[in-house]
Structure 1
Amino acid sequence: MGIMGYLRERMGTILAFFIGFALLAFIVSEVVRSGGSFFRDDNSVLAEVNGEKVPYVEFNKRLEQNTAQFKQSGQSISPQITSYIQETTWNQYLGQILLDKEIEKVGIVVGGDETASMTGSSNPDPQIARQFADPQTGKFDVNRLNQFKSYLQSGKADPSQKQAWTDFLTQLIEAKMESKYMALVSNGLYVNSLEAKDDYEAKNKLVNFKYATLDYASIPDAKVTLTDDDYNTYYNAHKAEFKNQQDLRSFEYVSFNAAPSKEDSLALKTEADKLAESFKASTNDSLFVQINSETKTPITFQKKGSLEPKLDTLMFNAAKGFVYGPYVSNGSYKIAKLTDVKTTFDSVKTRHILIDPATTGGVDKAIAKADSIKKVIQSGKSFAEMALTFSADKGSGTKGGDIPAFDVNGAMGGGQGQITPEYTNAAFKASKGDMIVVTSQFGVHLIQVEDQKGSVKVVKVAVVDKPIEASSKTQTVAYSKAQAFLANLSKDNFDAEVKKEGLKKQTAEDVTGVSASLPGLDNAREVVRWAYKADKGDITDKVFTVGNQYIVTRLSEIKPKGILPLDIVKKQIEPAVRNEVKAKQLNAKFQAALSGSSSIDQVAQKAGSKVVPVQNIVFANPVIPGASIEYKVIGSIFGSQPNKLSKPVNGQQGVFVYVVDGFTNPPALANNVREKQQISQTLTQRSQGQILDALKDNANVKDNRAKLL
């Protein structure tokens, strides 16, 4: 009774405990299954480098900066470009982390006096000199630098400008420390006289020889049986070649095409024909484009060569109101209408002062500030001085606000970049000497038009586009086929089902964790993420959508970082292992031919080969004409005595026997100082990249990018 009473009194507490425990167990199992943790936020850690966590947010800041710089060059950001920027940013970031540790270990610093010198007037850093150069002469202007420093110290500077200057100085100091470290390593490189002599002879000592060869191809592959011992022997001798620098995945996939059918295209063509008639009658072309076009491109004046080829000649010879299309271009039906024609300047030269709304309390206040600055300039103040003091665009601000000349499309000369449409339109509408205030995506600009040159015919062309897309019926049919195929799969029957359904299996080999595309498939990031969470042999639990394809995948191989085991590289090394087995047979054939022979001609005749004479080969270029690069053979030749038959040598293409006719030694090295300098210069040029490679190779890096990017 005592026990029952105890349980009755505490039943609520006990049930709560067990329910709570069960929930906790369920949550733990989910966290473990998904690779998470209670004690830290895995999604915040991009990587661990030698035990130090790399925050995702810090990496992402750099990634956004690099992406923005790439966009400013006028190029579009495709999945492949995104992957390239991510990889480049990661290599830069990882290199800096490793270098910073080495710099700290060595004790390299940049002192206050050195910093003052770098940012001073007597010996400024090259970046400082470029930023504060005279726009007319291009030479460093100490007055501009001093004016900017005085402005920062006056209390008038925006906090963001002070922070930008601080960040700039920090980057200069970091770059200086890195250059000191690189110099410390490269200055330790030394080339002695013997190395100079060897290098000189390798490039200039000549050899003439004759050889006979038995090609590996002379033995059919079917007559060669490879054993486990053959594989093991080759693998152990070449193990260092199988070091994998990063995790890789290989997978097989089947795609089901959901591209637009002929019926889909015809239906869209009919719709585009009706749209073309309405476009001809339109009196508000800008509104028509905004309502009916997939791509809402602003209608701006463009010069010849700026339109797509199908339109360029037509529109510059047509009358206003001319409509062309529908026509097919870049996967869309397009209709183009000539809305205006005029003659304008070929290029406009401007300077500007950029006001950042974020630091001035909004766009209205930024416009008011620009108007105030305009009045000050009109009253006699120097535009260049006001640009240096107030412009948020420090690149042009230190040059008096100077912007390179640009054409009606906003393109600057020499491929320097692209001006925004708002800025371009305003500058071409204004007159020479005008000061105008314009708002763009970058902020509020006070623009002064300095010059307008040339004369060019320009046109305004409004374009309506309708992408040629698959109908819902086409997509449903393809998706249903993919789902049906997936439903019949198991780990063991993928190949059988592919064959049964008459499908084509494709492979994606050695895919990195940050890859964004697969062979023939763009924007396949979701598939790659799956591959890095799956186990070997796993089949996806859903149908992936990649562009106009539906994808079903199976993970076929995992290649971990480090020395790959034999079972992973077995297929890769099979041709080389087979050649080694063939080499044993061909060696035996040559050995028999060498027995009792006194000349290379006799050896060739007995072995069923022929003698080939070769002249003027140097050690530094180990190529046998008509054959291939043969490092081992040429190396053996340069270590041989003239007029002596060699033993068989296993080469790249076959087994060789040779006899050296003679060597031609070059003149004695007259100036080994010059030779040493040339070698040293080459070593120095390669050292920076090799230093970073060595640091990365020796670092313990746990890379989570495959899961987070």
Structure 2
Amino acid sequence: MNKQKNVQQQVDTERKKEQVSVLEKIRRRTGLLVSIVGVALLIFILESLLGSGASIFGGSDLNYAGSINGKKIDRNEFLMKFENQLNNYRQRNQGRDVDESTKTQVIEGIWQQYIIDLVMKPQFNKIGIAVGDDELYESVVVNPAQSIIQNLTDPNTGKINEQFSRPDGSLDPLKWRQAVQNVTGENEMAVRSMEEQVKDSRYFEKFRALITKGLYVTKAEAKQNYQNQNQKRELSYIIKRFDSVSDTVVKVTDSDIQKYYKEHSYQYMNSEATRSAEYVVFNVLPSKEDLAEIENDAQRVASEFKGLSVRDDSSFMAQESENGSIMIQNFTKKSMIIRDSSVFTSAAGTVFGPYNEGAYFKIYKLQGINSMADSARIRHILVGINDAQQKPKRSLEQAKNEADSILVLLKAKKVSFDSLVVNYSDDGGSKTNGGDYGWFDENEGFVEQFKNAGLMGSKGNISVVETQFGYHIIEVLDVSKTRHNSYRVAQIFKLIGPSDETNQRVFATANQFAGENNTAELFDKAVVAQKLIPRMANNIKEGNYQVSGLDGAKELVKWAFNANKGDVTIFTMTDKHVVAKLSGIKNQGLLPLEEVKDDVTMKATQAKKAEMFTEEFKNKAGNDKSIEAIAGKLGLEVRKSSDLIAQQNTIEGVGPDNIMVGTAIGTKAGALSKITTGINGVFVLAVNSVEKNIEMKDYTNQMKDMERELNGRADSDSFYALKEMSDIEFHKSRID
């Protein structure tokens, strides 16, 4: 162990020397050290690129995130990388919380980098791939790689920061060289991080080139592929299916099962650890007392809502409605959501409800009734407050002043609407039509203020309307003669949920169940005795925090990968308490016989049947040369399958059976196959006809297409193959 540790320390030392030498060479090549204004800005830009810098070596048996080819990955080191990347994410997104999906992506990205370092890079060294100092200098400084350009680009504007750019916005190599040679401390680490990104990219580019240049397709392969896709066969077959004879007829011993398991162990290799859990749910539902209390509160809200003016409604709604929701909508007679038909004859200010509508008590207030045209046609000029990069262009006050000024000019007829649309409007989509949006009704997807200016306006009217996009100068070109009433309704939602007392009572029941039935045997008996409904969650994967039937099951999954089979525990979720039993463990690698015994027994039984059926074929019709004669002696039906091509996996009348398809493709026209065991039973087939070879004059395009497909898979297939050859174990549940 000490020898191995010393060797690893030497490797780390050499790696650091290499990093220093490359950066020093970059500095030497840039000439004199020239100070640069704006180093603080460089710090801000580069700090998001910093990794943890921790060594990937070390870690104890009890505290590791996984292992790759015998190298254990220290959990604390992984967590440090994880937290660094989450912090970088928060900095780039103004402190926004990191959601579960993003966390999962970060974890996967870090783990993939470990695989690259410990699986891919050793292969690069073995085959002699290298990235020299001069090459790296060229890609980092002289002609920066795309990853460098991206790192120096402001994500908000899509432009290279002005401290590193020419007047035309492109990267200025001189400024970039000056920045590189002046960085120190953490910023130097950031430059090295970018250097490593470029170096990794060059490794993979060379590896990809090495593989793809060795891939080619011959004319013979292209011709065969074309025929496999197009050449059709017709065959006759007989099959004695495994399900035609009861399993009880065949005697399978323990030694038969052991033998099949040993000879077919490759079928029972588990590529990823999984768990199975059985659980019962104790739902937290509102009691009668809870419902009465919520209804009383809704009655209070309805009473207070009646006495408020429309001006005060919004603040009251924000105070009383679920999640501070302010919901005010316009309805017609057809779309009205209030169940009381008197709403159509009631005065503005009338309050309806509260109504129990399932998840909520709802209170409605008729705020107003407006006469609205069935349809209208308008044109507009937009004085916007945002440009394409979402950077402030005008303040709201500035936009309002400009819009009011335009309105004065238009009403005084000192300028034409058409010219202002083309030269002034910020709505590029309507410029080609003179700002005209054509006819629309209230179902159109425009914002409400925009629609109402037309539907509630009069022909020829010009007004200024505010929306979230800015201020619109809207001219009503025409309105329909037909009109209808629009009913403006405000809504307050009161969630019908359980009280804390109810939640505590349900938890006490679930907790008592878990405490009294804390073994698998007791759990199973109690489920039956109490007539509970058990639910199953199979094939739970580590790090996947969604379980069938349960949302937000993160803690349950983490527990499943750290508990023993038969363990029982309780979990509290949003609206329920769950008592779970760990019912199954499938670790990575060869699954134990006891875990797959049912499948092994079934297949061993089929193997016995195959031996029995094969002997029957040989004894009764071993010398017959026609499919009809064999069928007659065995009492089987001759069936046919037409238009069979090589790329199918299904036989007409049988179903999926690659062995039958392969046998048919390998049998010549007019010939009879051997007695063969397929997926579904023992069969003999005869190929009645094979379509004549369909020739192409030129297979060049076919060859190119096949080579493109091979090259497109080169990266993923080689990466997957190396992973499959490696001993990789990852415990996601120990990270987040």
Aligned twin of 1:113: 138
1:504 is matched by which residue type in structure 2? I
Cα gap change, 1:355 to 1:347, in 2 (>3 Å): closer
Contact 2:235 2:687 in 1 (8 A): yes
**Alignment correspondent of 1:99:** 116
Q: Does residue 245 of structure 1 match 2:268?
A: no
The amino acid of 1:464's aligned partner reads I
Counterparts in 2 of 1:321 and 1:89: CA distance versus 1, 3 Å: farther
Counterpart in 2 of 1:416? none
Structure 1 residue aligned with 2:693: 666
User: Does the 8 A contact of 2:81 with 2:110 survive in 1?
Assistant: no
Matched-pair contact (CA < 8 Å) for 2:331–2:488:
no
CA contact (8 A) 2:231 2:693 kept: yes
Structure 1 partner of 2:557: 528
1:468 is aligned to 2:492: no
CA displacement at 1:561 relative to structure 2: 1.6
CA separation in 1, counterparts of 2:470 and 2:178?
30
Show the 5 A alignment for 1:492-531.
Answer: 492-531=521-560
Q: Is 1:58 the counterpart of 2:81 in the alignment?
A: yes
Over residues 236-290 of structure 1, what are the superposed CA-to-partner deviations in whole Å (9 max), with x where a residue is unaligned?
3432233323322212222223223566445433432332232232343343234
Give the superposition deviation at 1:627. Answer: 2.5
The Cα offsets for residues 290-330 of structure 1, whole Å up to 9 and x where unpaired, read as 43233024x4888999xx9958xx99999975656545678
- Give the secondary structure class of the aligned counterpart of 1:580: helix
Measured in 2, the distance between the counterparts of 1:179 and 1:403 equals 44
d(CA) in 2 for partners of 1:682, 1:607: 47
What amino acid sits opposite 1:244 in the alignment?
N
Contact 2:275 2:561 in 1 (8 A): yes
* Alignment match, 1:272: 298
- Counterpart Cα distance in 2 of 1:459 and 1:180: 68
1:604 aligns with 2:604: no
CA separation of 1:642/1:666 partners in 2, compared to 1, >3 Å: closer, same or farther? Answer: closer
Residues 1:694 and 1:180: Cα distance change in structure 2 (over 3 Å): same
Pick closer, same or farther for the CA change 1:452–1:94 going to 2, 3 Å.
farther
The aligned counterpart of 1:19 is none
Deviates more, 1:174-183 or 1:448-457: 448-457
Residue 199 of structure 1: which of 210, 219, 225 is its match?
225
What is the aligned partner in structure 2 of residue 651 from structure 1?
Answer: 678
What pairs up with 1:90-489 in 2 under 5 angstroms?
90-99=107-116, 102=120, 105=125, 106-108=129-131, 111-115=136-140, 143-146=167-170, 173=198, 176-177=201-202, 178-261=204-287, 264-265=290-291, 267-283=293-309, 284-297=312-325, 299=326, 321=349, 323=351, 325-326=353-354, 331-337=359-365, 349-351=384-386, 463-472=491-500, 474-489=502-517
Moved more, 199-208 or 528-537: 199-208
- The alpha-carbon deviation at position 632 of structure 1 amounts to 0.6
Question: What is the one-letter code of the residue matched to 1:215?
Answer: R
Deviation at 1:690, TM superposition (A): 2.3
What's the offset of the Cα at 1:217? Answer: 2.0
Q: In the TM superposition, what is the alpha-carbon distance from 1:67 to its structure 2 partner?
A: 9.3
User: Offset at 1:210?
Assistant: 0.3
Q: CA offsets, 1:371-429, max 9 Å, x none?
A: 9xx9xxx9xxxxxxxxxxxxxxxxxxxxxxx99999xxxxxxxxxxxxxxxxx99xxxx
CA offsets per residue over residues 139-182 of structure 1, 9 Å max, x none?
xx974324888999999xxx9xx999979966973684344543
257 and 449 in structure 1: CA distance in 2 versus 1, 3 angstrom threshold? closer
Compared with structure 1, are the counterparts of its residues 458 and 67 closer, same or farther at alpha carbon in structure 2 (3 Å cutoff)? farther
Is contact 1:252–1:553 with CA below 8 Å preserved after alignment? yes
CA distance in 1, matches of 2:554, 2:149: 46
**Does 2:730 correspond to 1:706?**
no
Q: What amino acid maps onto 1:509 in structure 2?
A: N
| AA at the equivalent of 1:113 | E
Q: How much does 1:706 deviate?
A: 0.6
Shift, 1:637, TM fit? 1.9
Aligned equivalents of 2:571, 2:323: Cα separation in 1: 27
Letter in 2 for 1:198: Q
Deviation at 1:467, TM superposition (A): 2.2
Aligned residues: 576
Conserved 8 A contact 1:338-1:461: yes
Tell me which amino acid in the other structure corresponds to 2:567. Answer: D
1:662–1:131 Cα change, 3 Å: farther
Q: CA deviation at 1:46?
A: 4.8
Q: 1:639 to 1:703 in 2, by over 3 A?
A: closer
Structure 2 gaps, min length 5: 1-57, 160-164, 373-377, 403-425, 431-447, 450-463, 480-484
State the distance in 2 between where 1:319 and 1:113 align: 78
Quote the Cα distance in structure 1 between the aligned partners of 2:488 and 2:208. 54
Task: Give the match for residue 708 of structure 2.
Answer: 681
Q: Does 1:581 align with 2:608?
A: yes
Work out whether residues 142 and 173 of structure 2, in 8 Å CA contact, stay in contact via their aligned partners in 1.
no
Classify the secondary structure of the residue corresponding to 1:145. coil
Q: Please name the residue that 2:640 is paired with.
A: 613
Alpha-carbon distance in 2 for matches of 1:533, 1:309 = 54
Q: Is the 8 A contact 1:255 1:552 kept in 2?
A: yes
Corresponding residue SS for 1:652? coil
RMSD of aligned Cα (Å): 5.5
Whether 2:572 is the aligned partner of 1:549: answer: no
Report the alpha carbon displacement of residue 463 of structure 1 after superposing the two structures with TM: 4.6
User: How many angstroms apart in 1 are the aligned matches of 2:245 and 2:94?
Assistant: 56
Q: CA deviation at 1:218?
A: 1.4
CA 43–228 in structure 1, closer or farther in 2 if over 3 Å, else same: closer
Residue 452 (structure 1) shift:
7.1
Supply the AA of the counterpart residue of 2:198. I
Structure 1's 174 and 451: CA in aligned 2 closer, same or farther, altered over 3 A? farther
Q: 1:325 to 1:166 in 2, by over 3 A?
A: farther
Alpha carbons of structure 1 residues 676 and 405: separation in structure 2 relative to 1, 3 Å: same
Tell me how far apart the structure 2 counterparts of residues 240 and 222 of structure 1 sit (CA, whole Å). 27
| 1:524 to partner: Cα distance | 1.7
- Which residue does the alignment assign to 1:624? 651
Could you say what secondary structure the match of 1:620 adopts? Answer: coil
CA–CA distance in 1 between the matches of 2:354 and 2:677? Answer: 66
Residue 633 (structure 1) shift: 1.0
Query: Offset at 1:707?
Result: 2.6
Indicate conservation of the 8 Å contact 2:140/2:195, yes or no. no
SS at match of 1:295: helix
Aligned with 1:570: secondary structure?
Answer: helix
Q: Secondary structure at the match of 2:565?
A: coil
User: Structure 2 length as normaliser, TM-score?
Assistant: 0.64
Q: Note closer, same or farther for the CA distance 1:190–1:59 as it changes in structure 2 (3 Å cut).
A: farther
1:279 and 1:237, CA in 2 relative to 1: closer, same or farther beyond 3 A? farther
Q: Distance in 2 between matches of 1:212 and 1:588?
A: 15
Report the counterpart of residue 590 of structure 2 in structure 1.
Answer: 563
Contact 1:59–1:90, Cα closer than 8 Å, also in 2? yes
